[in-house]
């Protein structure tokens, strides 16, 4: 596997390992705990990631299929351009309270999903991302664009999309860990 593709795969693997540790020993009650109205539970963070990954992957897949048909093969590493790198940096944890982004309506988590279901959906979305990497690693991921499914009129390269997904996972797993710690503290004091 090429170094840039391997790095993306390792980021997916790391997020999956982190999610597995996150839910270990967490019961449905704590997995569904919210700090207050408008906040998300651990289960909702995972549901948001699974849904976001599926929506992004669907948009990216259309462009990748076209690129394969048109013979748009790899010309260099899968790296985002300047705008893409800037957007990826905005998603990275820790979350700056001044740069909090509202989740697009398409990927707002379901209300009170079961932790087990959200986790299973997240794992399935990770498999979808890995399959995408295996299938399209030989394409010009930095040169093929797709329509961003959340920001009308914006197109990202497939390389940017893959890096956005990885950063988005780190962001919400970071959030989920904070929620878990708060839930455990609240349960311990109650």
Write a three-state SS string for the chain.
CCHHHHHHHHHHHHHHHHHHHHHCCCCHHHHCCCCCCCCCCHHHHHHHHHHHHHHHHHHHHHHHHHHHHCCCECCCCCCCCHHHHHHHHHHCCCCCHHHCCCCCHHHCCCCCCCHHHHHHHHHHHHHHHHHHHHHHCCECCCCCEEECCCCCCCEEEHHHHHHHHHHHHHHHHHHHHHHHHHHHHHHHHC
Which tokens hold the place of 171?
A: 């962001």
Q: Assign residue 64 a region (left: φ > 0; alpha: ψ between -120 and 50; beta: otherwise).
A: alpha
Average pLDDT over residues 68-94: 93
Among residues of the chain, what percentage have pLDDT more than 90? 84
Give domain 3-23+38-189's CATH architecture: Up-down Bundle (1.20)
Q: How far is CA 14 from the centre of its chain?
A: 12
* pLDDT tens string 92-145: 998 777 777 788 888 989 989 999 999 999 999 999 999 999 999 999 999 999
C-alpha triplet 125, 128, 132: angle, nearest 5°: 140
Q: What is the largest CA-CA distance in the chain?
A: 61
Confidence band (pLDDT; 50, 70, 90) for 190?
low
* Claim: this prediction has a pTM higher than 0.85: yes
Tell me, what's the pLDDT at 94?
87
């Amino acid at each position: 596997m090429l170094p840039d593709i391997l790095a993306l795969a390792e980021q997916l693997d790391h997020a999956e390992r982190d999610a597995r540790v996150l839910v270990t020993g967490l019961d449905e009650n704590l997995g569904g705990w919210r700090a207050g109205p408008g906040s998300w539970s651990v289960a909702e963070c995972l549901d948001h990631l699974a849904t976001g990954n599926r929506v992004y992957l669907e948009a990216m897949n259309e462009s990748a299929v076209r690129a394969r048909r048109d013979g748009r093969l790899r010309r260099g590493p899968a790296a985002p351009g300047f705008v893409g790198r800037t957007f990826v940096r905005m998603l990275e944890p820790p979350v700056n309270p001044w740069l909090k982004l509202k989740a697009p309506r398409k990927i707002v988590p379901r209300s009170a999903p079961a932790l087990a279901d959200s986790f299973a959906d997240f794992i399935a979305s990770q498999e979808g991302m890995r399959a995408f990497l295996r299938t399209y690693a030989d394409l010009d991921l930095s040169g093929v664009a797709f329509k961003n499914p959340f920001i009308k009129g914006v197109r990202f390269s497939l390389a940017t999309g893959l890096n956005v997904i990885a950063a988005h996972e780190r962001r919400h797993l970071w959030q989920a860990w904070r929620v878990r710690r708060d839930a455990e503290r609240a349960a311990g004091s109650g």
